[in-house]
Amino acid sequence: MADFDLVIREGRVGTAAESFVCDVGVRGGRIAALGHELGKGEHEINARGRLVLPGGIDGHCHLAQPLPDGSEMADGFDTGTLSAACGGTTTVVPFAFQNRGQSIRAAVNDYHALANGRAYVDYAFHLIVTDPTPSALGQELPALIADGYTSFKIYMTYDALKLNDRQILDVLWLARRERAMTMVHCENHDVIAWFTERLETLGRSAPKYHAVSRPSVGEGEATQRAVSYAELLEVPILVVHVSSREAADEIRRAQSRGLRIFAETCPQYLFLTASDLDLPGRDGARCICSPPPRDKSHHAAIWTGLANGTFAVFSSDHSPFSMTAPRGKLIHGADAPFWKIPNGIPGLETRLPLLLSEGVLKGRISLEQFVALTATNCARIYGIPRKGSIAIGADADIVVWNTDREVRIGNDMLHHAADYTPYEGMVVSAWPDVVLSRGEVMVEGGKPLVGPGRGQFLRCDRPEPARPMDLGTGPAMH
């Protein structure tokens, strides 16, 4: 009789703290043993010479999300989570989007209906708060947080999404009281609107001007403002999809003063530049996202932030639109101005291979940092249970990586439903060989072995409580 359901033999196991060669024993979908010469497994994987890492957690992706302009994302929970699995990601956290005037609970129910029976991998939900009414802040959000939806995103830009400064303070105060994590999209809306109006007046509407309309100084200013409000209320925040030196510098300064400011960045801010928005014809529309890709001097600042700990999380911000779909990138016509082109690019499947290849294998970050950025920190910050590490009792979400082959990325090899990848033609030196979720082999040799519907919803835990604050004497009263 076998001692384990599965044993992964002699791989280099990586955690956020260290790496070591050992066997991994799996029983009942969880990691049951780490050691040398473990007993027999009913199934065995020879991982000698390969990396054995926790399955990735993508803490920022958009699936089946409705958009105010009527555009439609290419991926729902089926193709999106299949793509995640094939790229080594075994948990995703997409967003339950609240349209203004809609209750947040109704938005959550809508997303459960979209995900049920379709997801390949396990998933939790962030909330998106666009309408922080007294009932939302007083009843709906506290009840949802208690039910395991412990993080939500707010926006400082986009007409249909942005909150004003007073509303931001209201939401942060709620997050402090209820022990939730607030994610903040930091760009100065008025700066963007001012530049967009002037570019429109000058007839400069091609995709490349999207980057001009969203300057890095506007991201830096909004980041500083969000950090100031977090400091005022003594509440942690996570600044999402940081693209610029200015924003990274603001975050680093705040962290150096002991503030609990977390930060996230994404592949597009390491591997794409503003020049990718200036491709022939309408191809530049492929790389329109917000904040936009910037130049290589900003790339250097982002790599530095990954290496020195400024960034806690590396996510995809997967927001996929097809170029040829009627409600895709060109929903408003082939000659639509940049401000009418839906924001977002696909990236779920390529996130981990890009960072492992260009970060770890080229010596920019350590293997331990890779694990922390792509799995462990996300589980800790968002309270995702039993995920993000190779440890006794954790879910056996494990990826065996091949780092001895070169893979040329092409959209025809990927599993998302978008009709392009912005990383077409890039060569990476790492790709998942075997992907396990809760001990089940989902992907082997790049081929999916399971169908949709096996993914389970995860209730998240609350972060640790904030220190008490007396508003009667504190600065927040003034």
Task: Using the predicted structure, report yes or no on whether residue 439 has a pLDDT greater than 90.
Answer: yes
List, as one string, the DSSP characters of 211-247: HHHS-HHHHHHHHHHHHHHHHHHT--EEE-S--SHHH
The larger pLDDT score, comparing residue 463 to residue 28, is at: 28
Q: Degrees (nearest 5) of the Cα angle 353, 358, 364? A: 130
Mean pLDDT of 25-42: 98
For residue 226, how many other CB atoms are within 10 A of its CB? 26
Q: pLDDT, tens digit, for every residue of 298-323?
A: 999 999 999 999 999 999 999 999 99
- What pLDDT does residue 129 have? 95
Mean model confidence pLDDT for the chain: 95
Tell me what the mean pLDDT of segment 372-385 comes to. Answer: 97
Q: Write out pLDDT tens, residues 2-15.
A: 999 999 999 999 99
> How many Å from the N-terminal Cα to the C-terminal Cα in the chain?
70
Residue 211's pLDDT band (boundaries 50, 70, 90)?
Answer: very high
**How many Å apart are CA 239 and CA 260, to the nearest integer?**
11
Segments making up each domain of the chain, as ranges: 56-375
Inform me whether the pLDDT recorded for 88 exceeds 80: yes
Using one digit for the tens of pLDDT, what is the confidence trace for 237-271? 999 999 999 999 999 999 999 999 999 999 999 99
pLDDT in tens, 147-190: 999 999 999 999 999 999 999 999 999 999 999 999 999 999 99
Is the pTM of the predicted complex or chain greater than 0.85? yes
What pLDDT is stored for residue 476 in this prediction? 42
30-35 vs 41-46, strand pairing mode:
unpaired
Superfamily of domain 56-375: Metal-dependent hydrolases (3.20.20.140)
Residue 474's pLDDT is what? 46
